[in-house]
Chains A and B, each alone.
Chain A
């Protein structure tokens, strides 16, 4: 899989002037170096005792948090995000490793005996473990990487978090979208009254909740819940409205709007997605052949060796190739889920779910954005995108789990 990924980076930046595959000044050359070191790293991890990770989970977490703080203070800046340490010609991105550390810490915490997620205190503690690095990364201006921490909701759900949280999350997301859709709608009523889209939405929700109330038999019990939902909804709608028009930079809100089909702007914010779709779409069923992709080779797709690497696959290998990749990821994710379920230690199991959740989130967002189904959030496709830190990060994340799985029989 790593090899496949590397071949694609080679294709993405393939240029006849640079024939040497091992030229480290070129991206594919560098990536080869990263792959080599990552393989070495994986091998080393396999020799480390599993208990090392369990024991030093918090320590590793602590070190990473410190690194995250340091990078904000002294890191170098790339595209508005200060998330890099530049060491020689190579750059290290601590946020790529913090996913692993957070997962480790979360697994360690949740696997502690007598921890139950239906206790408020536990919930708060877990949220803190996840939230701290997320906030720090947010402070680095790397929104995409911060959002990845949302993936841990799957882990929490699996470990006993009420399903309602998944539903509430879904409900919030739907409300969020509807609010944006209605943001420019103004309803004109008789008697010269006007109603903004947001107010209209609140009224609809209010009517909906009231009717539920009257339809319900246990009026006293439900009224508190309905009231809370109402307050939460109003809060969300109002804050989305506010955030959108007052907090977000114009280019950020534009990106979201384009995704929702509210704005069409092929040369602007929608440009990336449009070009990406053209590249993938032009691949057809069987693709243009390896290194034959015109769209990706001639730089029509931006960031094609990093965030939009999937375009290269789509264009050069066609539907067959992209189906294979999606299938590969699906198999990989389900395999991890299966491995989780056979773990005897709670620590390994929770860690495994974390691995699956992180990989899933990256997969879903990265491929989703190239085919116009997810917002354009700059996060890499595991093992495919160019970038040493992410490759190392994913390698560590995965191999630690493989090691745990290999050692599962010993833990009794």
Chain B
């Protein structure tokens, strides 16, 4: 019996040993074989703190600051740290919200996390922050986090600059650079130059304890990177010209695009009505955005690149050039006009002027009959109308019309020059001819070009045959865009330079003594062409293209004033004032009356009535 009990100590020893062996095996598995605990451990203690870089500043071509960053303050809350008693009413008064708001925001924060901080109130202004800061120590659990907001000191060029907003879920899913809550450019320059403007985020890895308290840098900051500020952008815009153009276009709908012909640099890009870009910043953005979208005048719509209008009579210059290049027209070609062009029992009307008409006079007086003849001779030079039309169309597209200019802001419209398939569908294949599509001769009909395309076309005439891709950015971090952007190119029209001589001459006469005399300047020879765009919805649109000076053009522009009826009435004087402002910097005394009339002109009331 005793011996038997003696041996029981081995049983006990075995049990002890068995447990020991099992534990060692388990420890070996957990510590050596299984890796996932190590990852979990890093997730536990390492926090990546993203350092946001300052977004790049934006200047105009003369170094005027257009966009900078302003400090804004987010009120953060860590629900778990809020201490009772909490004076909700006083707190709400401080922040400027009501109690229902407060409860909703706190619930949202709690839903996100009780332990982690989240935004309670976004983007408080510096002024609001000063008030809150004094009192905030009374409310543990709340603190303020600074960040920056875009600010637009010139309050101008909203459509060019665009705006910045919070990244959406789709973008976060598509682009690993962005995390939820990040800011990015949503339209305009802010969007197209996002990569340059956003800079480079820095990362700081810190060790934290279980309460999220920072305990120091990970590996003494060996893996940290500092934030690199966004690149500085210099625009091609001339801020003064831009602001002046916006002023001229106030209370009107339409657009002005001005280009420096030799470089393709856009000097002004105006879409009216416009809005103050500061409206789309900070906590008021969403409500302001809503107001702007509900405005029947559609101020968010960038007419300069997104609206298409028929070119009207301004297009006659182009048909003249094509005719000469095709050899069916010379400066001495005469056509008679008896208040219109008669064909197949129909009539394309014209106004009263002397007849017969030569090339220069045809542009000066804007004779419709002359261009019906010119257009017909171009098309009928070829065996079939389709072939003739395609040849003509080829020239038109070489002027950059009916295709994207490639301007460096998003959402540019392509415009429209019908293909032969369009007419085949409409009239049947082989069942249309020059006379069927005669409205193209005078720039009406199906044609649809953006004001930007028209300005680019004007720059091409000013350059006597070529254009440079129009663009809005002059340099990135002081490096000229022409050296960086390979898409900037010189585009040839294929029309001989000598053919431009007569057309330019004629356009100079338009301003000197024709329909565009309100654009005439004493000191500078301005070339231009008026146009009237038929508008089935209401009063016709007034349009004018111009460049100056005649022999060394520094500015080429197109002006559209919706419902302005005659090109000579609104578009021409506005174009003249723009040229004068840009080249002379001041408006001559004898032209002040024109400026006053333009500034005071109100054309949006008309359309508002029509829309009712």
Contacts and interface: CB of A to CB of B under 8 A. Distances in A.
Interface stretch (B15-23, B128-136, B483-491): B15-23
B31 interface: yes
A155 B41 CA distance: 42
Contacts of A285: 31-32
Contacts of B40: 278, 281-282
Contacts of A300: 44-45, 209-210
Contacts of A330: 16-17, 20
Contacts of A275: 44
A407 to B, nearest CB: 21
B482 interface: no
A391 to B, nearest CB: 22
A157 B6 CA distance: 11
A329 B20 contact: yes
B45 A295 contact: yes
A318 B31 contact: yes
Given A158-B12, A298-B45, A334-B13, A341 B27 contact: no
B9 interface: yes
A163 B5 CA distance: 11
B179 interface: no
B485 to A, nearest CB: 48
Q: Is the interface of A mostly helix, strand, loop or mixed?
A: helix
A371 B38 CA distance: 15
A233 B40 CA distance: 42
A322 B44 contact: no
Nearest to A315: B41
Contacts of B45: 294-295, 298, 300
B289 interface: no
Contact of B41 (A279, A299, A341, A367): A279
Nearest to B38: A282
B26 interface: yes
B32 A319 contact: yes
B20 A326 contact: yes
Given A314-B27, A322-B31, A295 B12 contact: no
Given A330-B17, A333-B16, A158 B32 contact: no
Contacts, number: 118
B41 A340 contact: no
B594 interface: no
B9 A337 contact: yes
A380 to B, nearest CB: 17
B32 A284 contact: yes
Contacts of B30: 277, 280-281, 371
B24 A284 contact: no
A298 B208 CA distance: 7
Interface string B31-72: 110101110111011000000000000000000000000000
A373 B215 contact: no
B3 interface: no
Nearest to B45: A294
B23 A368 contact: yes
Interface string A309-325: 00000100011001100
B207 interface: yes
Contacts of A159: 5
A348 to B, nearest CB: 14
B342 interface: no
Contact of B211 (A279, A297, A299): A299
B8 interface: yes
Nearest to A353: B12
Interface in A155-174: 157-160, 163
A319 B209 contact: no
A281 B37 CA distance: 5
B16 A319 contact: no
A154 interface: yes
A360 interface: yes
Q: Is the interface of B mostly helix, strand, loop or mixed?
A: helix
Contacts of B593: none
B44 A284 contact: no
Contacts of B31: 280-281, 283-285, 314, 318-319, 322
A148 interface: no
B28 interface: yes
Nearest to A334: B13
Contact of B38 (A281, A322, A340, A372): A281
Nearest to B8: A158
A170 B26 CA distance: 22
Contacts of A371: 23, 26-27, 30
A364 interface: yes
A364 B15 CA distance: 11
A343 to B, nearest CB: 11
- Which of the listed residues B17, B34, B40, B209 has the most CB atoms from chain A within 10 Å of its own CB? B40
Contacts of A319: 27-28, 31-32
A156 to B, nearest CB: 11
A346 to B, nearest CB: 11
Nearest to A284: B31
Nearest to A288: B41
Nearest to B208: A298
A278 B8 CA distance: 39
A279 B38 CA distance: 8
A281 B23 CA distance: 13
Contacts of B8: 157-158
A78 to B, nearest CB: 21
B341 to A, nearest CB: 85
Nearest to B5: A160
B44 to A, nearest CB: 5
Contacts of B13: 334, 337
Contacts of A163: 11
Contacts of B5: 158-160
A294 B30 CA distance: 17
Contacts of B28: 319, 323
B6 to A, nearest CB: 7
A298 B213 CA distance: 9
Interface in A23-73: none
Given A157-B8, A298-B207, A341-B9, A360 B24 contact: no
Interface in B207-249: 207-211, 215
Contacts of A356: 12, 16
Interface in B349-403: none
B222 to A, nearest CB: 16
Contacts of A367: 23
A337 B7 CA distance: 12
Interface string A246-278: 000000000000000000000000000001011
A267 B208 CA distance: 18
A282 B32 CA distance: 9
B210 A282 contact: no
A278 B13 CA distance: 31
Nearest to B215: A298
A340 B34 contact: no
B289 to A, nearest CB: 40
A154 B16 CA distance: 11
A357 B460 CA distance: 100
A317 B22 CA distance: 19
A213 B12 CA distance: 32
Contacts of B26: 371-373
Given A299-B211, A341-B9, A278 B37 contact: yes
Contacts of B27: 280, 314, 319, 322-323, 326, 371
B20 A340 contact: no
Q: List 8 tightest A-B contacts by C-beta distance, closest first.
A: A281-B37, A282-B41, A298-B209, A319-B31, A330-B20, A294-B45, A299-B210, A278-B40
24 contacts: A154-B15, A157-B8, A160-B5, A277-B37, A278-B40, A280-B31, A281-B34, A281-B36, A281-B37, A281-B38, A281-B41, A284-B32, A285-B32, A295-B45, A297-B209, A300-B210, A322-B27, A322-B31, A326-B20, A330-B17, A356-B12, A367-B23, A371-B26, A372-B26
Interface of B: 1, 5-6, 8-9, 11-13, 15-17, 19-20, 22-24, 26-28, 30-32, 34, 36-38, 40-42, 44-45, 207-211, 215
